[in-house]
Chain A
Amino acid sequence: MTVPLDPTKLAGYGRLALTARQVVEGFLSGLHQSPYKGYSVEFAEHRQYAPGDEIRHIDWRVLGKTDRYFVKEYEEETNLQAHLLVDASGSMGYGAPTKFAYASQAAAALSYLMLRQLDQVGLWVHDHAIRAALPPSAASKHWLRLAQMLEATQPGGETKLAPLWHELCRRLRRRGLVAIFSDGFDRIDDLVLALRAFRHAGHEVIFFHVLAPEEIAFPFRRLTQFRSLERDDRKLVDPLQLRDDYLRQFGAFCERLRTEAGEMQIDFHRLRTDEPIDRALGHYLADRQRRTR
């Protein structure tokens, strides 16, 4: 399901933009600080502590060694580069709203938040290949371009996430934040390797696991022919026969993904398409807020 855009509405931001902005504004109305700190992860040098510096920037190791207070300085202290990877493969086309539409909303909301903080946000829409890309930027119209790109994309194509993520990992020069919006329906071993690559490259990774409630609960009862959204593949199954195995396999997949992500210190968050986007993101953002205090 695509989110219809109406550029004339509300300063031309479109519904996606509007929704995303509403989400973020709503969040921000209750919070005063972005959960995303304005510093890059790249260390530049030490300088002597001056009153007013944030205590958390004090390098305690140096203090222990020298008994003097120094703070760490970073290259671009206030500009975060965030890369949003939105999976637009065929499987993301399932549901009403589609997982892609939901992921697009979430991605747009998140990018709006970051852009408000003057962080640079890039967008990569992909299936087994990059379908659309927007390099990171903090420009004022950047967000609109980002939303339009998302709106213009229709999910389809096969899922081959891992090779593409490896490729993207090589392309991203600066360490930054990588937010992945995907259902992860790929070989999990390959996915884990790809995520590990992001982590090795120094990126902070957030994995938004976008799923439809039907994929989670598998509520089907009647004889059903499941037709693949990515390939010419059909299976006629009795869902009642299949359900236990499906839930076990799916649960195991999700659990492994969560566990591996946890081990790699990747923020793993499930987004259900039947949950209001503002609530889903709001929960996540609030949770992140608490963790980063």
Chain B
Amino acid sequence: MMSLGFLNAALLAGLAGLAIPPIIHFFNRRRHDVVPWGAMQFLEVSSARRRKFFLEELLLLAARMTVVALLVFCLATPFMQGSLADRWFRPSRDVIYVLDRSASMGRRLDDGSPWTQAVEKIKAELADLKTGDRVGLVFASEPLETAAPLGSDPDEIVRLLEAHPTPSGGCDGAAAAERAWEHLRQHGRQPDQEIVLATDLQSFGWFDAAAMTRWRRFGERLKSAEGATPRFRWLSVKPADGSDAPANVALQPIVPSRRLAAAGQNVAFAADVMRYGTAIGTVAVAFEVDGERRGEAKIALPAAGARTEVRFEHRFERSGLHRIALVLTNHKDALAADDRQDLIFEVLPELPILLVDAERSPSAASSTYFLSKAFSEPGEKNCTSAVAGVRTTADRLTPELLLPRSGDRPRVVVLSDVPELGRESAKAVETFVAEGGGLLLLVGPRMVQARDKWEALRSEGLGWIPIRIAGSVSIPAAESAKVRLDPATFVHPALALFKGQPNSSIATALHRSWAKLAPEGGATAAQFANRDSWLISHAFGKGRVLASALPMDSGWDGVLAKAWEFPVLAHELVFALADVRSDAFNLAPGQAIVVGEERIPVGAVPMLHVPGGAARPWPTLGKAGTFAAPGPAGIYRLSLGGGGDLPIVVRAEPRESLLTYADDNDVIRLEEAVPARWSGRDASGATSPPHEIWLAFLLGFLALLVFESWMTRRMVRARTAG
């Protein structure tokens, strides 16, 4: 296919000049001599000659008009587009296809999906390559992937595309375009370079506000870069009804009631169900644990744009990493990728914690006494507590206890009214928290008394101590002056059970003294009724710190010994702080896999099993135990040889469920942000670049001018020869 156009179409008005030769001819015929003549009978021209003259005149007139036309066309800068034009005129080029591999490309359409359509179009273009053309392929996905470097065999690219599973995950169009551009700068050889953006033009990832910022940044780089800028071309597979959000129901990410559980604990898994477009009716959501269906719920779809929660509870009997899934069943809508959510959930046999007491010899009066009673001993059987607490004292707190070279480290450390920490221990605590550990800082009278030392630790540290101990509050014995905790101020997730319980023993306990804490880098997570801070929360590194103005000891007015809520509170607090390792298995798109060096046996070759594909060796990223991001959304498995298999979920990008598309104004705005030659905006038009052919018209003009001159002279000579 081929089309012809003109870059300066306004100059085609010059075609009015086509009338000039006939007008001149007409006026010439009007100007004639008049001769009275006698030999009229000899003024007859033979029909053959007359025909010859007529044809010559016609040919000459046609030549003259064509000369004018060719000149006009030449000035109007004609161009040709299309595969045929590419074959004739296009020089060899380097072209990189940037193919959108986000979930929206898997949208169900009457004729396949945007992905299949894009693949077919790319295959068709690859079949039309000229000798000398070099192609490459970059997937616009999270993470970015250079699927085929420039110069790859087109057949290999075709095979790669045909074998590719359904696209998933999100997309960063600007980053992908930038990657393609950098690749061209490094490896491009041809003067003609092109980047083809094959996408469904979904707003998210290409045209939303964040994406436009990235495009503008890329545009600035282009502007300041040396060398020619490649051409950019849209290869749009925008659905025909891309202007309206189609009917789609999407599951949002699973939110567990706790981030970590112990065997025997109930955990609730909830997810929002979003409705887009005109989908109506009810949907069924299945709950799966490790591939087995454990429940199903039918829910009525919410109003468009609204969400409804679906919730399941499960009791894990077995410790380990469990794969949780919520799946929309018996349902077919525009996008299949958001009909399922997965989560890797860690279940521990017991939660190991370290209780650090100020007393050298723990007793019932020790600050950790009640806590240790709330928890079990490590390995203790027939114990209802999922927390195994190891008690130690501050003077025996060594880095080895916090950060053992081998074996499991505690998930939470409780510093219970510890007045002083040695520098080494303080450093170890800081490292422990930074690497993901949880710290419960129970501030009691000893810490208040040694607050200067704690202030010194805070100022010397990197910010793991979120409080400044201002002093203490002590209320005289009169009951009316005692202060309760205010459940209405409980914002910390660990206090969720108690938030709506104003009559619980936690809420009704009266307190006469507490530490006066001021947040320094932390945020108040719960308060007394007099608005003094009770709990101050802080995230440090990968870990969390919770500071309490109340030690969890006998100072709780006997509540701790009597109330059943105390063990619950203690468990909630330590579970909320626990080092959740399952973050290493629930990845955001583009996030690296970090499993820890100690998990990898010596000499093992880690293999990554990709969704729907074969396993392949997976390289580390610099540091041992850190691996490159696995790929787009889906369920992976990292085999560590003797170290076992680790399930990995790369979360889907929920914004891919919003199937809204860019319009022409959006595309124009993007093209203006990136200073380059753009084409292909009109998907129904030609997708090949325009090839200027004014030179051919100029040569034709000159040739025809020579011919016209020659023919005129020939005719005059012939007619005057007699």
Q: Enumerate chain A interface residues (CB-CB to B < 8 A).
A: 90-94, 99, 183, 185, 212, 215, 218, 220-231, 233, 235-238, 240-247, 249-250, 253
Contacts and interface: CB of A to CB of B under 8 A. Distances in A.
Contacts of B44: 245, 249
Given A94-B39, A229-B38, 16 more contacts: A94-B36, A183-B38, A223-B28, A224-B34, A226-B37, A226-B43, A228-B38, A230-B40, A235-B43, A238-B719, A240-B719, A241-B45, A242-B43, A244-B719, A246-B43, A247-B722
Interface in B705-722: 715-716, 719-722
A91 B39 contact: yes
B32 interface: yes
A92 B35 contact: no
Given A94-B38, A237-B43, A243 B719 contact: yes
A224 B42 contact: no
B43 to A, nearest CB: 5
A230 B202 CA distance: 89
B29 A215 contact: no
Nearest to A224: B33
Contact of A224 (B32, B46, B716): B32
A109 to B, nearest CB: 23
A226 B53 contact: no
Contact of A215 (B38, B720, B721): B38
Contact of A245 (B40, B45, B715, B720): B45
B34 A227 contact: yes
B381 interface: no
Nearest to B721: A244
Given A224-B33, A225-B35, A226-B35, A233 B722 contact: no
Contact of A94 (B37, B41, B43, B46): B37
Interface in B7-42: 28-29, 31-42
B719 A226 contact: no
Nearest to B715: A240
Contacts of A90: 38
Contacts of B37: 94, 226-229
Contacts of A212: 38
Contacts of A218: 722
A183 B40 CA distance: 12
B53 A241 contact: yes
B27 to A, nearest CB: 11
A236 B40 contact: no
Nearest to A155: B38
A249 B38 contact: no
Given A223-B32, A224-B32, A225-B32, A93 B38 contact: yes
A225 B45 contact: no
B677 to A, nearest CB: 54
Given A226-B40, A235-B40, A240-B719, A245 B33 contact: no
B405 interface: no
B26 to A, nearest CB: 12
B36 A227 contact: yes
B214 to A, nearest CB: 74
B722 A243 contact: yes
Contacts of B39: 91, 94, 183, 185, 215, 250
B29, B45, B720 — which one has the most chain A CB atoms within 10 A of its CB? B45
28 contacts: A91-B40, A92-B38, A93-B38, A99-B38, A185-B38, A215-B38, A220-B33, A222-B33, A223-B28, A223-B29, A223-B32, A224-B35, A225-B32, A225-B35, A226-B37, A227-B35, A237-B45, A238-B53, A238-B719, A240-B720, A241-B45, A241-B49, A242-B43, A243-B720, A243-B722, A246-B43, A249-B44, A250-B42
B34 A225 contact: yes
Closest 7 CB pairs of A and B: A91-B38, A240-B719, A226-B37, A223-B32, A94-B38, A224-B33, A249-B42
Q: Is the interface of B mostly helix, strand, loop or mixed?
A: mixed
A223 B33 contact: yes
Nearest to B39: A215
B23 to A, nearest CB: 16
Contacts of B35: 220, 224-227
Nearest to A211: B39
A227 B722 CA distance: 23
Contacts of A246: 42-43
A241 B46 CA distance: 11
A226 B43 CA distance: 9
B472 to A, nearest CB: 124
B29 A236 contact: yes
B34, B36, B39 — which one has the most chain A CB atoms within 10 A of its CB? B39
Contact of A223 (B31, B53, B720): B31
Nearest to B43: A235
A242 B36 contact: no
Contacts of B46: 245
Interface in B295-334: none
A253 to B, nearest CB: 7
B483 to A, nearest CB: 122
Contact of B719 (A185, A236, A241): A241
A143 to B, nearest CB: 28
A200 B127 CA distance: 94
Contacts of B33: 220, 222-225
A235 B35 CA distance: 10
A222 B720 contact: no
B32 A222 contact: yes
Contacts of A231: 40
B41, B43, B721 — which one has the most chain A CB atoms within 10 A of its CB? B43
Contacts of B41: 185
Contacts of A220: 33, 35
Contacts of B715: 240
A170 B44 CA distance: 34
B685 to A, nearest CB: 50
A41 B39 CA distance: 36
Nearest to B40: A228
Nearest to B30: A223
A33 B37 CA distance: 40
Contacts of A227: 34-37
Nearest to B54: A241
B722 A244 contact: yes
Interface in B53-80: 53
Contacts of A215: 38-39
B40 A233 contact: yes
Contacts of A237: 43, 45
Given A185-B41, A241-B53, A243-B722, A229 B36 contact: yes
A173 to B, nearest CB: 33
Contact of B38 (A222, A230, A238): A230
B29, B42, B722 — which one has the most chain A CB atoms within 10 A of its CB? B42
A93 B28 CA distance: 29
Contacts of A99: 38
Contacts of B716: 240
Contacts of A245: 44-46, 49
Contacts of A244: 49, 719, 721-722
Given A92-B38, A227-B37, A228-B40, A236 B32 contact: yes
A22 to B, nearest CB: 28
A42 to B, nearest CB: 38
B484 to A, nearest CB: 121
Nearest to A159: B38
A262 B552 CA distance: 156
A220 to B, nearest CB: 7
A233 B42 CA distance: 13
A235 B42 CA distance: 11
B52 to A, nearest CB: 9
A206 to B, nearest CB: 21
